[in-house]
Amino acid sequence: MTTSTNSGKHREQIMHIVFTLSALTAIVAVGLICVFLFAGGVPAMLEIGVLKFLLGKDWSPTDTPASFEIFPMIIASIYVTTGAILFGVPIGIFTAAFMAKICPKRLYAFLKPTISLLAGIPSVVYGFFGMVVLVPLVRTWFGGNGSSMLTASLLLGIMILPTVIGIAETSLRAVPEELYEGAVALGASHERAVFFIVIPAAKSGVMAAVVLGIGRAIGETMAVKMVAGNQALLRMPKEFLKGLRTLTANVVIEMGYAEGLHRDALVATGVVLFVFILLINLVFSLLNRRSAL
């Protein structure tokens, strides 16, 4: 009897340690990712010159002397993300309002799985769809060769919809029913109560949805690469029918054959992207904390 309880105690202790170690894995993983990315990218940045790398306009890795400057890609990422937000956020928020407050229950049971399916479609399928449908569409309607800032923004706008809808809907549902009822009791119509009382009350949750959408859009790689044209040139917003290359596309296009400083410069591109994402995550968790209060 004593031996069995003893071994039981041992087992408890061992498993307690195993559980704790497992919980530490996430921390170790983030640590490793930071260490390896920064160790791979920062020396290259220093060698090229941090300001030159970040703010120079010339990316020509195969020239002699080669030039590694990623300002056009940073701007391109910002353009297509802004475009995606312009397309995706209004539709996303209205759809979220529809799902949370307007949609008949029967329709909801059907619509909800549809939205999560939209989130489940692989980005390479989106990219392919963009290539065979959106690119020709933009070419015939707007001119240019179709692989452009506009096409990438449109496609990303579709891709961030489920993210924006999901989080915005949750935060709209979290608004206390009294606010809505109060507005209706004071004579507001259903629509007015939803759009002028409930949505403003869920402000920080809706903002969090937008921020997460930004994170999705800026980090998307394959779909953007397949429709954006990928010229590493600095574009102006009015050149929205011309091609451009985002940070993510830059990494995925050239990593296959890059060597030496070129490869390290691509890792450094990844570092810049990573820092962007960390900032976005920070803003997101701050907003979440505020909506939790």
Partner 1 sequence: MKQLSKKKPFDLFLCVFTWLCAGTTFLVLVFIISHIITRGLPYLKPSIFALKYNSENVSLFPALISTFILVVLSLLIAVPIGVFSAIYLVEYAKRGSRLVKVVRVTAETLSGIPSIVYGLFGMLFFVIRLEWGMSILSGAFTLSIMILPLIMRTTEESLKAVPDSYREGAFGLGAGKLRTVFYIVLPSASPGILAGIILSVGRIVGETAALLYTAGSIARIPTTPMASARTLAIHMYALSSEGLYTGQAYATAVVLLAMVIGINLLSEYLANKIVK
Site for partner 1, residues 214 to 253, rule: CB under 8 A = 215, 218-222, 226, 248, 251-252
Tokens at 14, concatenated: 């061992």
154-173: contacts with partner 1 (CB under 8 A): 158, 161, 165
**Which position among 75, 84, 95, 245 is part of the footprint of partner 1 (CB under 8 A)?**
95
* 151 touches partner 1 (CB under 8 A): no
Chain position carrying tokens 């399916």:
117
Minimal distance, residue 168 CB to partner 1, in Å: 12
* 261 touches partner 1 (CB under 8 A): no
* 278 touches partner 1 (CB under 8 A): yes
Minimal distance, residue 220 CB to partner 1, in Å: 7
How is the chain classified by DSSP, letter by letter? Answer: -HHHHHHHHHHHHHHHHHHHHHHHHHHHHHHHHHHHHHHHHHHHHHHH-HHHHHH---EETTSSS-EE--HHHHHHHHHHHHHHHHHHHHHHHHHHHIIIIIS-HHHHHHHHHHHHHHHHS-HHHHHHHIIIIIHHHHHHHH-S-S-SHHHHHHHHHHHHHHHHHHHHHHHHHTS-HHHHHHHHHTT--HHHHIIIIIHHHTHHHHHHHHHHHHHHHHH--HHHHHHSB-------TT-TTS-B--HHHHHHHHTTT--HHHHHHHHHHHHHHHHHHHHHHHHHHHHHHHHH-
63-92: contacts with partner 1 (CB under 8 A): 90-92
Task: Write b or e for each residue in 97-122: b if 16 or more Cβ atoms lie within 10 A of its Cβ, otherwise e.
Answer: bbbbbebeeeeeeeeeeebeebeeee
* 24 touches partner 1 (CB under 8 A): yes
* 26 touches partner 1 (CB under 8 A): yes
* 32 touches partner 1 (CB under 8 A): yes
97-116: contacts with partner 1 (CB under 8 A): 97-99, 102-103, 111, 113-116
**Which position among 49, 120, 200, 237 is part of the footprint of partner 1 (CB under 8 A)?**
120
C-beta of 122 vs 237, nearer to partner 1: 122
176-195: contacts with partner 1 (CB under 8 A): 189-192, 195
Tokens at 216, concatenated: 């999705």
Stretch that binds partner 1, among 14-22, 65-73, 139-147, 177-185 (CB under 8 A): 14-22
* 38 touches partner 1 (CB under 8 A): no
User: Taking Cα atoms as reference points, which of 76, 74, 86, 75 lies closest to residue 210?
Assistant: 86
C-beta of 72 vs 127, nearer to partner 1: 127
Minimal distance, residue 58 CB to partner 1, in Å: 23
C-beta of 195 vs 239, nearer to partner 1: 195
Stretch that binds partner 1, among 48-56, 117-125, 173-181, 232-240 (CB under 8 A): 117-125
Stretch that binds partner 1, among 122-130, 144-152, 168-176, 232-240 (CB under 8 A): 122-130
User: Taking Cα atoms as reference points, which of 266, 75, 292, 97 lies closest to residue 195?
Assistant: 97
**Which position among 42, 54, 58, 94 is part of the footprint of partner 1 (CB under 8 A)?**
94
* 4 touches partner 1 (CB under 8 A): no
Q: How many residues bind partner 1 (CB under 8 A)?
A: 83
